[in-house]
Copies of this chain bind each other. A is one copy, B any other.
Amino acid sequence: MSAHKVIGTYLIETYLPLEHAAEAIAGEQSTGTFTAIARETPELRQRFAAEVVSIEELPPTANPDLPGSTRPAPTALRPADGPRAGELSVVKRSGLVRIAFGLDNFGPSLPNLLAAVAGNLFELRQLAGIRLLDLDLPAPFAERYPGPQYGVRGTRELLDRPDGVLLGTIVKPSIGLPPEELRLVVRELAEAGIDFIKDDELMGNPPHSPLADRVAVVTEELDKIAARTGRRPMYAFNITDDLDRMAANHDLVQAAGGTCVMVCVNLVGFTALAWLRERCALPIHGHRAMTGVYTRAPQLGIDYVVWSKLARLAGADHLHTNGLSNKFYETDEEVLRSITAVRTPLLGGYETLPVLSSGQTPGLAPETYRRTNTTDLLVLAGGGIHGHPSGPAAGVTALRAAWSAATSNTDLDKAATQVPALREALDKFGGNRA
């Protein structure tokens, strides 16, 4: 028996005493059933049961109750400082609960880890709210999962960009662009000096624009650019598909000299990502489509902090975090927390590059730099480049100029006097948000 533990940190909300609710999680996720049973000895419980490490009561939240949650008669759970007997109000308690799971129960295996720390617990009646906020993972996970093969440094090396924010875009329209038009888009973007281009997550391997055709025209264009300028932008081909096809897609990209593949992490699953990592020669650009189903309901789910740890273990070299002032639901504070999560060392490593996207425009550069305090970012502008009044090349120029100004502490409007494309972008998409 090793003494390795996984510690899960949960936000729980409950009408039961916090201690009872925490024990319900520990019990369901280790030895328990609903009734006492033969062969479940105290010794066995002692050795295998999950353990409540700490409970910290929090101020009440405004979170809605999950359906089906137990609400005992109020007098049965009257807290010392709560309502008196005869008062009918029931107090919902909120707490941060830390639970230790013995690693020997499941081993360093991502799917079996999830059985323990998530499993059935979202369904427990004892809980009116349950979110898995964090996971502390022990060293054996690092031994089992190699994680990002390229990460920040490897991506910079491939791009020959040892410093500075990396700038990228998404091919738009998301879907429907014929390969020969894609060629023109890639040429224009590459000539304008973009670092990174990616397929949209909606563009996999459809009949009207097969991956093989896209790979052929894109790598041909990038070869030409590289020969002429010495710089080869990275193109992340969306290889997301059923697994044998995903592996074949990877091989196709690699054989053509492509330098990046994109995988929608949730759509294939962490386990499939780890499987791909074992047979992958290229950086894996991890798209987060469908993460909202885990994160958006405040009373339920799995926090991005946990999600990103699992994706990094599984091998994501790049990971989408959203960007400031994005078009989706997250606040800037949530986005910054996600960027920090991806940049925080995990088990001493797992150096993954945060990818900021959604509604990104040149005007956001100063605030993004000020609040992240790093240039180890891949900033993607889709509409912010393709929607530039003077076209995508001007969009790249504007974004590059804005980031150059931001990191050298130059006012954007001042920088724009030298760069008309930046002036146009600020006028169209909004000015400096510092």
Contacts and interface: CB of A to CB of B under 8 A. Distances in A.
Contacts of A242: 109-111, 271, 274-275
Nearest to A66: B296
Total copies of the chain: 2
A240 interface: yes
Closest 9 CB pairs of A and B: A269-B269, A68-B329, A122-B292, A64-B64, A297-B297, A35-B387, A123-B292, A48-B176, A123-B328
Interface stretch (A75-83, A200-208, A229-237, A363-371): A200-208
Interface string A306-349: 00000000000000000000011111000000000000000000
Interface string A111-129: 1101110111111110000
Interface string A297-309: 1111110000000
A95 interface: no
Interface string A240-275: 111111000000000000000000101111111011
Given A207-B107, A387-B35, A114 B327 contact: no
A386 B35 CA distance: 9
A32 B271 contact: no
Nearest to A301: B293
Interface stretch (A15-23, A36-44, A397-405): A36-44
Given A40-B172, A327-B34, A272 B269 contact: yes
A185 B170 CA distance: 57
Q: Pick from A201, A202, A206 the residue with the most CB of B within 10 Å.
A: A202
Contacts of A40: 172-173
A272 B205 CA distance: 19
Contact of A331 (B68, B176, B268, B297): B68
A39 B184 CA distance: 11
A72 interface: no
A204 B115 contact: yes
Contacts of A204: 106-107, 109, 111-112, 115
B39 A119 contact: no
A274 B246 CA distance: 13
28 contacts: A34-B359, A35-B387, A39-B172, A39-B185, A40-B173, A44-B173, A47-B176, A64-B64, A66-B329, A68-B328, A109-B241, A110-B242, A112-B205, A112-B241, A114-B264, A115-B201, A116-B202, A119-B202, A120-B201, A124-B328, A125-B328, A242-B274, A243-B272, A272-B272, A292-B300, A293-B301, A296-B300, A297-B297
A175 interface: yes
